[in-house]
Structure 1
Amino acid sequence: MKQVRKPYSKHSIPQQAFDWYDDYAHGRMDRRTFLSRLATLSVMGFSVPSLLGGLTPDYAQAEQVSFNDPAIKASFQIFPSPSGHGEGRGYWVAPTGTTETRPGVLVVHENRGLNPYIKDVARRLAKAGFVAFAPDALYPVGGYPGNDDAGRDLQRNLSRHKIEADFLAAASFLKGHSATTSKTGAVGFCFGGYMVNYLVAAGKNLLDAGVVFYGTPAAEELQNNINTPLLIHLAGLDERVNSSWPSYESKLRQLKADFEMHEYEGANHGFHNDSTARYSPGDAELAWQRTLAFFDRHLR
């Protein structure tokens, strides 16, 4: 019988492999180059298939809250987006057992569509007592395709302007829904982190709190509009995103914005995503508890 090598763990994967994966996942390196660079690690005893197994998501291993959990109810809802793609669709998760309205939290995915990890984040928020709404930017082209590489290609080829308009529309839909209070927050990861920064800059008075996981700022010409409390999580090893932070921090201080930032030493971009070896359990849990406390403070 052929022996299958298990994926390497976070602690055994060389840092340069994480860095190359980040370049590949964000369009700064093509797949052929990425695989060629991984192959150079073979002299150190690493196999490309096992490295890929550790670097790419295994969503079956990442579920924390089942969609069958009786404390929540999940469904899909359509919302109008006249300035975007016409309409959008998102994953709606609400607590069960009560008819009272709850604060809403928009959940914004990475640069590959509404994958299972982001759905699970929405369910975690509902378990914490919020109404969570996670739109899929790929809905206009059939939705998340079940494969991250294909999802990245689809999202890369959509109009960024229309995607931004879709998320503005989704936030408005959530804020005005009969199941939610007037208090609305947003949390986003990677591209979603950028989108939260964009929403607090472009959507005047739309959000009451924003949480950014390793996301870049909105365009400089929009930043003067920021008046929403922000919680920003940065990964210590994420040079690409962190290079944008000093000027953004300077602008937030100039605006006297209500913000706090936490940098997690030794963590990689994507450290909250528990489906890959980039996951850092201690950092992810601390960041999540800070996120829930931030939403409790500003949305309850």
Structure 2
Amino acid sequence: MTKVTVADGSFDAPLWLPESGSGPGLVLIQEIFGLDDYLKSVAADLAALGYVVAVPELFWRISPGWSATHDEAGVSASMAVAGRLDPASAVTDVLATLATLRALPETGGRAGVFGFCLGGSMAYAAAAEGDPDVAVSYYGSRVPEQLPLLDKITCPIQFQFGGADPYIPAEGVSRLADAVASHDGAEIHIHEGAGHAFHNHVAPMFHQPEPAAAAWALTLEFLGRTYPA
């Protein structure tokens, strides 16, 4: 566990260390479900690859310790909590976690951002407003509507989207793909037939094993090429 301090308070960020005890850092940013078994498993997977992983609690001001079930009731409750989140404060928290992670001796001063769903939007915004070494954004619903932020991003960034995502209009993803094509260091992968949160293996209503495996393989290749552990 590491503590992150911001202007209006502080929060704890659970920390996962690789077996070696050190490696480049990754700020892993939650979905609307909070720090649940899914996010913990992703953190463990990234740590097993050699990364030092920190997970900021985005809802610490409004619903500390939030974690919801992965069903219709959990989605509804989580969306209500997420609706009270101030995006600017959340990005500030992510950037503060990035700085805290960089300051740890275990990371050697390196740290990137990696987010899913809500976290995918936050990773994108943090890459534009801060200076992470790398960024990975999975199906961030606000990404297409914030297209101008792409011009501010200088680190390598990868986007993953489902081609049949009911929460993110295909037209917006298409516009993003056009912009990515002319942006150095950026890449986008759109998985046809995949819906939202397809990588979440503990959510039966969302998980799609084939696009999840394909996206993860592409992400591992991207990290290995641009930000190796």
TM-score range, shorter chain: 0.7 to 0.9
Task: Look up the match of 2:27.
Answer: 106
* Contact persistence 1:87–1:166 (CA under 8 A): no
How far residue 296 of structure 1 moved from its aligned partner, in angstroms, is 1.8
* Contact persistence 2:34–2:68 (CA under 8 A): no
How far residue 253 of structure 1 moved from its aligned partner, in angstroms, is 4.1
Task: Look up the match of 1:288.
Answer: 216
The DSSP-based 3-state class of the residue aligned with 1:179 is helix
Spell out the pairing of 1:184-195 with structure 2 (5 A cutoff): 184-195=111-122
Task: Look up the match of 2:40.
Answer: 119
1:257 and 1:123 map into 2 onto residues whose CA distance is 30
Deviates more, 1:134-143 or 1:265-274: 134-143
Query: How many residue pairs were aligned?
Result: 218
* Contact persistence 1:235–1:268 (CA under 8 A): yes
How high is the TM-score relative to the length of structure 1? Answer: 0.67
2:195 and 2:174 map into 1 onto residues whose CA distance is 19
- Which of 63, 66, 71 lines up with 1:144 in the alignment? 66
Task: Look up the match of 2:139.
Answer: 214
Task: Look up the match of 1:79.
Answer: 4
* Contact persistence 1:117–1:273 (CA under 8 A): yes
Identity %: 27
1:150 and 1:246 map into 2 onto residues whose CA distance is 30
The DSSP-based 3-state class of the residue aligned with 1:232 is strand
How far residue 186 of structure 1 moved from its aligned partner, in angstroms, is 1.9
* Contact persistence 1:196–1:210 (CA under 8 A): yes
Note closer, same or farther for the CA distance 1:143–1:151 as it changes in structure 2 (3 Å cut).
Answer: farther
* Contact persistence 1:88–1:136 (CA under 8 A): yes
1:232 and 1:220 map into 2 onto residues whose CA distance is 13
Higher relative contact order (CA 8 A, sep 6+): 2
Please tell me the root mean square deviation across aligned C-alpha atoms, in Å.
2.1
Larger radius of gyration: 1
How far residue 220 of structure 1 moved from its aligned partner, in angstroms, is 4.5
> Which one-letter code corresponds to 2:134 in the other structure?
A
Task: Look up the match of 1:95.
Answer: 18
> Which one-letter code corresponds to 1:123 in the other structure?
A
Segments of 5+ residues of structure 2 without an aligned counterpart are: none
Spell out the pairing of 1:1-300 with structure 2 (5 A cutoff): 76-82=1-7, 85-96=8-19, 98-99=20-21, 101-140=22-61, 141-147=63-69, 148=74, 149-203=76-130, 206-215=131-140, 216-217=142-143, 219-241=146-168, 242-254=170-182, 256-277=183-204, 278-300=206-228
* Contact persistence 1:186–1:196 (CA under 8 A): yes
How far residue 246 of structure 1 moved from its aligned partner, in angstroms, is 2.8
How far residue 227 of structure 1 moved from its aligned partner, in angstroms, is 1.0
Task: Show CA shifts across 1:178-224 (max 9, x none).
Answer: 11033322221111111111011111xx2121111111327355332
How far residue 250 of structure 1 moved from its aligned partner, in angstroms, is 3.5
1:239 and 1:159 map into 2 onto residues whose CA distance is 24
